[in-house]
Amino acid sequence: MANSAPVSTDVGHMYDVMTELFTTLLDGNIHVGYWSDDEDRASVAEASGRLTDMVVDRVGAGPGSQVLDVGCGAGTASLRLATTQDEAVVTGISVSHGQIETAKARARELGVAHRVHFRYADAMDLPFGPGMFDGAFAIESLIHMPDQDGALQEIGTVLRPGARLVIADIIERCPASGAEKEIIDNFCAVTQCRTIASLPDKLDRAGFEVLEFEDISANVMRAFAVLSERMREVRADFVSRIVPAHFDQLVELFRCFSGVTAAGYVLAVAQRR
Ligand code: SAH
């Protein structure tokens, strides 16, 4: 989709710069963590690993399944799926060249490069044949796509009928106004995100039946506050690589975003009709 390509390039450049910071703090992941309740004292890195497991477990992959990781980051979820689901074949895509190189190196180190492949590709214009995947997942990648409907159509096309798509991402729970709207707008401008409105309708339009749609905001939104604190602690290690003003802006935005109730987080499982 020609008109979205510059956006994907910008998002890719952002991740070329930011990936090491997030993967250092989140044990290889670039997504929020899951805590069972307020008493749960898991670290943000542990909690992030839990969410990875919750997603890959829901894909329903078996031996020989072909699975697509849409927006694979440093490859952690792809590698997790490949090393827990014996003989699954995983393809991870990203619009960050740096992430693809990192992910490929990790697959080689783990000895699974023959069945975990990473390549540069845009989810809004997928380079795969119809029905070639048995499952897919997308963790915090749809939020970066200006054409979320188009991306879901593309994913639907490359999945075979009956295949599952698991999505973990930031959604609009209700229309935001006032101070919350301002925080969301700032958050989206700096992170190059757009929250997802009406995901079930989008899934339906793209040819999916929604099997599970769980609002897990109460379990995950604290991640932004914890991440903000952790970023403050490691600031000195990263300000030579990340523009200090940008770094500080993110620290503040994450802190504020954690308390926004109009935005939230969903774990959704859909099945290709
Ligand atoms: N899913 C990973 C990474 C999340 S960060 C994890 O949870 O750790 C967002 C990811 O989405 C990055 O890898 C980014 O390159 C990817 N992404 C954003 N826009 C994309 C697009 N249009 N096509 C493919 N990947 C995209």
Q: Give me the average pLDDT of each 10-residue run along the chain (273 residues).
A: 73 97 98 98 98 98 96 98 93 98 98 97 98 98 97 98 98 96 96 95 98 98 98 97 96 97 98 98
Q: What is the pLDDT of residue 6?
A: 78
Hey, which of 29, 50, 141, 265 would you mutate to test ligand 1's pocket, going by the most ligand atoms within 8 Å of its Cβ?
141
Nearest-atom number in ligand 1 for the CA of 124 is 22
Closest CA to 220 of 31, 64, 82: 31
Residue 39 CA to ligand 1 center (angstroms) comes to: 31
> Can you spell out the DSSP letters for 189-233?
HHHT--PBP-HHHHHHHTTEEEEEEEE-HHHHTHHHHHHHHHHHH
Dihedral class, residue 7 (left if φ above 0, else alpha if ψ from -120 to 50, else beta): alpha
Best residue among 9, 10, 11, 19 to mutate for probing ligand 1's pocket (most ligand atoms within 8 Å of CB) is 11
Residue 263's pLDDT is what?
Answer: 97
Res 5: pLDDT: 77
The rounded radius of gyration (Å) of the Cα atoms in the chain is 17
State the Cα–Cα distance between residues 220 and 204, nearest whole angstrom.
26
CA distance 179 to 25: 29
What is the structure's pLDDT at 2? 43
Q: Tell me which residues have their CB closer than 6 angstroms to ligand 1.
A: 8, 11-12, 15, 29-31, 71-73, 76-77, 93-96, 99, 122-124, 139-141, 144-145
Number of Cβ within 10 Å of residue 126's Cβ equals 19
User: Looking at ligand 1, which atom is closest to the CA of residue 52?
Assistant: 7
| Predicted local confidence at residue 1, as pLDDT | 45
Distance 7 CA to ligand 1 centre (A): 12
**CB atoms inside a 10 Å sphere around CB 58:** 20
Which SS3 state, helix, strand or coil, does residue 40 take? coil
Q: How many angstroms is it from 94 CA to the middle of ligand 1?
A: 5
Q: Give the Å distance between the CA of 38 and the centre of ligand 1.
A: 29
Mutate to test the pocket of ligand 1, among 3, 95, 167 (most ligand atoms within 8 A of CB): 95
